[in-house]
Each structure stands twice: as structure tokens, then as C-alpha cells.
Amino acid sequence: MNLDRGPAYRPALEDDLAACTRLWRAALADYLGRLNADDGLPFDLEPLRRLLAHVLATDPERFWVAVRPSAVRDDGQPAGSDQAAPGDGGAGGERIVGFGSATVRGGTWFLGMLFVDPGEQGRGIGRALLERTMTGSDGLVLGTATDSVQPVSNALYARMGIVPRMPCLHLVGRPDDAGRLAGLPDGFVAVPFGRIVGDGGVDSTGHRELAGAVGSIDRAVLGHERPPDHAWLRRDGRLGWLYRDAGGRPVGYGYVARVGRVGPVAALEPALLAPLVGHLLLAHVPAGASSLWVPGAAGEVIEMLLRSGFRLESFPALLCWSAPIADFARYLPITLALI
């Protein structure tokens, strides 16, 4: 007789996040291993923990965990760190066996994360978490990004109207010929965010100028502003540039993480996206490779990167929505977990 009554569900806490990152890695490594694919997953999970902390801070009612009592050793004692299951170490000493998180920005609900411990899959945990992350989603556009090699998940979301609409390609490398990168049009300038803001606080003239500029671009490209995400990107140490045309009008912005991740990037015109990406790749040279998630609608960017020495990495992702969530001919996302 199966006496398993399933896990308990509760809102996530700050102390759960490290365990969630370990579970994320274990779940991805498991399914990539079954595909005989080199997982290539990072061992430094701190950047992911910081992202989850941001999502928890902005959307706590849409971040849920499934928990069981912590794992024990054969002698009945709590498992040590060298023997712990991936999700061990949650708040209160629980073992996290699944977690899901979503964000609401403007009129869009976006599912960023939904992962279940490999040993707990097939028990309805993912569906139960999904239902809880949909708090406050009535009447909103629904979106997510998925792996193209997960037909079960893609079918689940599509039945909800969150249909795969567009590939999103992961490109990695460095330009071996900078001449193949698109340059900024004549008269256009790239201004570092730091030069605009200066030493002033959030009430300073420079800060208000920058917030107004990126807000107007986000409204045009995404349909809404998102000040909390821009504040987090800057707190997280990403370098940002505002782009102005020859008349001084803000026409785009872009970020680069110091380790080389490029994004988000937004442009008022599709033809500007490749020049903005080209500038960002040269404006900050990381110690290793650069990496970008590029939607299929941004074909000029994809062609430019491949011609300049980048390579396609892993399987494409799929951008899914119930109605359009952004103009991806003018936009590169922050990550697949936070558009």
C-alpha cells in the first residue's frame, strides 16, 4: 500500500533559495543526461540565487515550494552536506522537492521557473506548483520560456493557451573579427548609465533622466515599464548603456554582466538591435566568452553573431505565450526566467 500523501506546499522564503538552486541544477542535469547531452551547467549557483531573491522580493505570492522532511542517513541522523539531497537545506530544515516562480509585469504573467526533484517527478507536484504560481493571473497575458526537448511540459502549457511561438537561441563565444559586428549609425552615441546618474541618489536629476528614458523604451517595446527589474540589474553589477540618436533622442539601452552575459537589450527600431549588440560586445570584454539568448525574430543579430565567430549552444528554447508579450525583433531578454 502506498502511504505517500505527497509533499506540503508553502510560499518560498529567503532561506529556501540556495536549496532551490541546487534542485534546479540537479533537475536539468538529470534530463540532459537522459538525452546524452553534455549539461554544461554552472557550478557557481550564486547568480541564480540572486535572481531568485529578486523574483521573491517582487512577486512573493507567486513563488512556491513543495517540501518534505529533510533526508536522513541510514543511522537516522540528518544527512550531512556531503550526503544531502539536492533540495536539502530549505527553511526549517525541510527538503525542497519542487519549486515554481512567476512574475507579473504590466499585463503579463510570466512563468520563470518550474522544477521538480528527479526522484519526485510524475506525482503531480509540477502541476500543483503551477496552479499556485498563477495567483493574480486572471485576465492577464500568459507567457513562459521552455526547452524545445520537453514535449510533455510544452503540451501542458499549450493546453492552457501558452503556445510555443518562437525559438530562442543561445549563442556563446567572442567575435574573432570585430569588423563583422554592426556598428552604431553615424551620429549615434552610447552613454554609460554611470555617466548619466553620477553620484546622485534615486531622487537626483540624472537618475530621473535615466529612469524616464528606459521607461519610455520599455513601454514601446514591452508595453510596460519595470523599474524594479532595472534597479536589480544595476544592484547586481550589470553595466548599462543608453543609446541616443544624432538628435539626442533615447533609442535603446543594453546591459552586460561582467562575466559576459549580454541582456536585456531593447531598441526602438528593429534595425538598431544588431548595432546595439555589436557595441555591447566590444564595450565590455569579459575574461571568458560572451553569451546571449537571441529570439528568432532578431534574425539579423543571429546572423551577425554566427558570422563573427559565435556558436550555437545546446538546444533552442521556445518562447510561449497566449498573446504577444514583447516585440522580439527589438528585444533580447534578461534571461529565460525573467523576460
- List the chain domain ranges: 8-139, 172-315
User: What is the reported pTM?
Assistant: 0.91
- Say if 8-139 and 172-315 have the same CATH topology: yes
**Residue 162 CB coordination number (10 Å):** 21
CA-nearest of 279, 271, 292 to 241 is: 279
Largest Cα separation within the chain, whole Å, is 75
Nearest to 339 by CA among 302, 331, 99, 115: 331
Contact 129, 114 (CB under 8 A): yes
pLDDT in tens, 228-264: 999 999 999 999 999 999 999 999 999 999 999 999 9
Judged against a pLDDT cut of 90, whether residue 108 lies above it is answered with yes
Q: How does pLDDT run across 122-176, given as a tens digit for each residue?
A: 889 999 999 999 999 999 999 999 988 888 889 999 999 999 999 999 999 999 9
Angstrom distances, CA of residue 135 to CA of 60, 130, 240:
10, 10, 33
Q: What is the pLDDT of residues 109-122, one digit of tens each?
A: 999 999 999 988 88
Confidence of residue 85 (pLDDT cuts 50, 70, 90): low
104 has a pLDDT exceeding 80:
yes
Which residue, chain included where needed, has cell 497566449? 322
Share of the chain above pLDDT 70, in %: 90
Around Cβ 297, how many Cβ atoms within 10 Å?
A: 21
| Average pLDDT over all residues of the chain | 90
d(CA 339, CA 331): 9
Place of cell 556558436: 311
Q: Which fold has domain 8-139?
A: Aminopeptidase (3.40.630)
Secondary structure, 3-state, the chain: CCCCCCCEEEECCHHHHHHHHHHHHHHHHHHHHHCCCCCCCCCCCHHHHHHHHHHHHHCHHHEEEEEEECCECCCCCECCCCCCCCCECCHHHEEEEEEEEEEEECCEEEEEEEEECHHHCCCCHHHHHHHHHCCCCCCCEEEEEEECCCHHHHHHHHHCCCEEEEEEEEEEECCCCHHHCCCCCCCCEEEEHHHHHCCCCCCCHHHHHHHHHHHHHHHHHCCCCCHHHHHHHHHCCCEEEEEECCCCCEEEEEEECCCCEEEEEEECCHHHHHHHHHHHHHHCCCCCCEEEEEECCCHHHHHHHHHCCCEECCCCEEEEECCCCCCCCCEECCECCEC
Reply yes or no on domain 172-315 having CATH 3.40.630: yes
pLDDT tens, 304-339? 999 999 999 988 999 999 999 999 999 999 999 999
Query: Is the per-residue pLDDT at 56 higher than 50?
Result: yes
- Structural contact between residues 104 and 224, judged by C-beta atoms closer than 8 angstroms: no
For range 9-15, the mean pLDDT: 97
- Cell readout for 48 is 541564480
Report yes or no: 141 and 326 within 8 Å, Cβ to Cβ.
Answer: no
